[in-house]
């Protein structure tokens, strides 16, 4: 499973999305109806699942799922 799929699964599980909901890397957190607290909760779960640490400064200005995925890919070495 690639990083995008892992992150999508975490978001689905933590935010109560149905399994058939399709996400794209271009989707914004607003389009996904995630507020800043939801995003932080998902990031914490991503960190725990992948055993990585994402600094707050790295998250400044991100607004799309793809931007988050790219940060995680770099941190995870993939």
Q: Cβ distance 62 to 68 under 8 Å?
A: yes
Q: Is 35 considered catalytic here?
A: yes
**CB within 8 Å of 3: residues ≥ 6 apart:** 69, 72, 73, 76, 78
Residue in 35, 38, 51, 56 annotated catalytic: 35
Q: Are 49 and 6 in contact (CB under 8 A)?
A: yes
Secondary structure of residue 37 in the 3-state scheme? helix
Catalytic positions, please? 35
């Amino acid at each position: 499973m690639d990083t995008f799929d892992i992150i999508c699964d975490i978001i689905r599980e933590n935010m109560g999305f149905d399994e058939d909901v399709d996400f794209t890397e271009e989707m914004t957190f607003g389009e996904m109806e995630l507020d800043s607290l939801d995003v932080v909760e998902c990031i914490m779960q991503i960190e725990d699942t992948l055993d990585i640490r994402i600094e707050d400064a790295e998250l400044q200005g991100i607004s799309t799922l793809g931007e988050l995925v790219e940060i995680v890919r770099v941190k995870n070495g993939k």
